[in-house]
């Protein structure tokens, strides 16, 4: 069995950032990343691609260019964990040992949980910004729709970037408003949860924009099935008494956000908590039972918002704590739960929702946090992609070090 000093599972935002941050602290560390895909994606720009405001090719890069220099890339998938034996099992059956394990394979998009969805996704007006190639399809639908019904859905939480379903509605509606067609398009927002957004502070401002676009908001309304060719979707609506009724709605365009969960191979493992996520201490991000296992990003159990912004603050913390672990010391830095959703409410304006554990507001700038701003749009459109590719992916922790005020959202 080959053994690696630090083995990272997943070469997404979290895996690359933590490997790069660790090497900045311990250049001699032997680090390997297990990652099956040959492309790395900057997912936060997919909502902009869907509004015709970002070049899709600028959201993907060859994985080999993203893996930090000096890090070994093991091109495979992890199939199982054996934490008692300090090993993982790859999909071809090979076991790889480690001294420290870092788990960050992201989350699983459960397209199959909606009956009929996989068959029609990407056709018949059915789209989702949660897949690279479909963000461009959203843009095609938005720019060609002149009248009819447009439905936007949001599944039960948790999902990555919980504001992404809203952003899809806002940007599409803004385009129709500017073209003068919004009056002929019936916009619906069907949300599984009981509130528009999890942090009450931001809800009134977000509702203002729902009203501005004349969108009909239905809470406790979950997409259950879809028939693309018939352009029909079925929703399960929870009644006051807890019973559920099923209603059919016709659409010309539907933006679907799939239900999301921990990846199956994590959920089935001894490292998972009751809900399937990697069971970490929310402060140190170290596993609650296995001292040499850490996790960050969408797959970990920390009750923060699942965003790249959270990853940006988690990576330096985990890297510092791994370095301590390699020196047989206890974790010495902690994560405060910071996450952020830059919510594009119209072209040229962003509401920057920043909050920590328990929904505590954590504004970076001394400005009214509920006011959409042009400056934040500039940040979202131009600065954050740069921050992601050139700082976060390379371990340059500008304003993100474990002791610094790391509060800017990629
Ligand atoms: P990912 O970046 O998804 O990477 C996971 C990696 O693990 C992938 O490369 C995958 O191939 C690999 N992997 C999977 N299974 C295995 C396995 N078995 N073995 C080995 N490797 C495996 N965040 C923001 O901060 N701001 C935003 O505005 C924002 N908007 C978003 C909009 C959309 C439409 C989407 C989809 C996401 C958005 N996000 C946003 C969220 C952000 O992209 C994620 O939170 C972030 O990418 C999480 O990083 P991660 O490394 O945990 O997961």
Q: What is the pLDDT of residue 400?
A: 75
Q: What is the pLDDT of residue 399?
A: 73
Report CA(131)–ligand 1 centroid distance (Å).
Answer: 11
**Which ranges of the chain have pLDDT less than 50?**
404-410
Does residue 284 sit in the same domain as residue 165?
no
Q: What is the pLDDT of residue 410?
A: 40
Does residue 96 sit in the same domain as residue 140?
no
Cα dihedral across residues 386, 336, 331, 296: positive or negative: negative
Q: What is the pLDDT of residue 403?
A: 53
Is residue 364 assigned to a domain? no
- DSSP H helical ranges for 145-217: 164-179, 203-212
Pocket test for ligand 1, best of 77, 94, 106, 376 (most atoms within 8 A of CB): 106
Is residue 323 assigned to a domain? yes
Domain around 24: 2-107+262-335
Q: Give the global pTM.
A: 0.96
Does residue 242 sit in the same domain as residue 269?
no
CATH code of the domain containing 212? 3.50.50.60
Nearest CA, atom 8, ligand 1: 12
Check if the beta carbon of residue 350 is closer than 8 Å to that of residue 343: yes
Decide which of 240, 260, 280 is a domain's last residue: 260
Decide which of 197, 232, 260 is a domain's last residue: 260
Decide which of 203, 228, 260 is a domain's last residue: 260
Nearest CA, atom 32, ligand 1: 44
Q: What is the pLDDT of residue 404?
A: 37
Q: What is the pLDDT of residue 398?
A: 77
Q: How many domains does the chain have?
A: 2
Strand, helix or coil for residue 3: strand
Pocket test for ligand 1, best of 64, 171, 307 (most atoms within 8 A of CB): 307
Is residue 91 assigned to a domain? yes
Does residue 103 sit in the same domain as residue 186?
no
In degrees and rounded to multiples of 5, residue 344 shows phi and psi of -75, 110
Does residue 33 sit in the same domain as residue 147?
no
Measured between alpha carbons, how far is 361 from 380 in angstroms, rounded to an integer? 19
């Amino acid at each position: 069995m080959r053994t690696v000093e630090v083995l990272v599972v997943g070469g997404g935002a979290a895996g690359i950032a933590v490997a790069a941050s660790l090497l900045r602290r311990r250049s001699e560390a032997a680090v390997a990343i297990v990652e099956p895909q040959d492309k790395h994606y900057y997912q936060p720009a997919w909502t902009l691609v869907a509004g015709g405001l970002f070049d899709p090719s600028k959201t993907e890069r060859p994985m080999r260019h993203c893996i930090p220099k000096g890090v070994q890339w093991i091109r495979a998938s992890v199939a199982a964990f054996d934490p008692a034996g300090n090993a993982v099992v790859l999909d071809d059956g090979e076991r790889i040992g480690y001294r420290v394990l870092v788990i960050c394979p992201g989350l699983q998009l459960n397209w199959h949980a909606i009956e009929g969805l996989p068959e029609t996704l990407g056709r018949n007006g059915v789209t989702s910004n949660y897949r690279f190639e479909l963000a461009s399809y959203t843009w095609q639908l938005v720019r060609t729709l002149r009248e009819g019904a447009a439905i936007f859905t949001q599944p039960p939480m948790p999902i990555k970037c919980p504001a992404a379903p809203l952003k899809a509605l806002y940007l599409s509606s803004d385009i129709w408003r500017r073209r003068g067609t919004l009056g002929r398009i019936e916009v619906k927002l069907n949300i599984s949860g009981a509130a528009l957004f999890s942090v009450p502070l931001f809800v009134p401002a977000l509702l203002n924009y729902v009203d501005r676009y004349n969108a009909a908001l239905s809470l406790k309304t979950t997409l259950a099935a879809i028939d693309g060719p018939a352009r029909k979707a079925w929703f399960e609506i929870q009644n006051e008494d807890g019973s559920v009724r099923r209603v059919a709605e016709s659409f010309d365009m539907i933006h679907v956000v799939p239900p999301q969960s921990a990846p199956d191979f994590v959920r089935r493992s001894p490292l998972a908590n009751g809900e399937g996520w990697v069971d970490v201490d929310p402060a140190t991000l170290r596993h609650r039972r296995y001292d040499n296992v850490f996790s960050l990003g969408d797959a970990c159990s920390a009750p923060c918002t699942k965003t790249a912004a959270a990853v940006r603050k988690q990576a330096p913390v985990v890297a510092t704590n791994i370095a301590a672990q390699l020196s047989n010391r206890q974790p010495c830095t902690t994560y405060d739960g910071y996450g952020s959703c830059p919510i594009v409410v119209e072209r040229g304006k962003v509401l920057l929702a920043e909050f920590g554990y328990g929904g505590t507001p954590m504004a970076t700038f001394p400005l009214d946090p509920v006011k959409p701003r042009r400056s934040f749009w500039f940040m979202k459109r131009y600065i954050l992609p740069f921050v992601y590719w050139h700082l976060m992916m390379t371990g340059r922790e500008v304003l993100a070090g474990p002791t610094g005020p790391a509060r800017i959202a990629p």
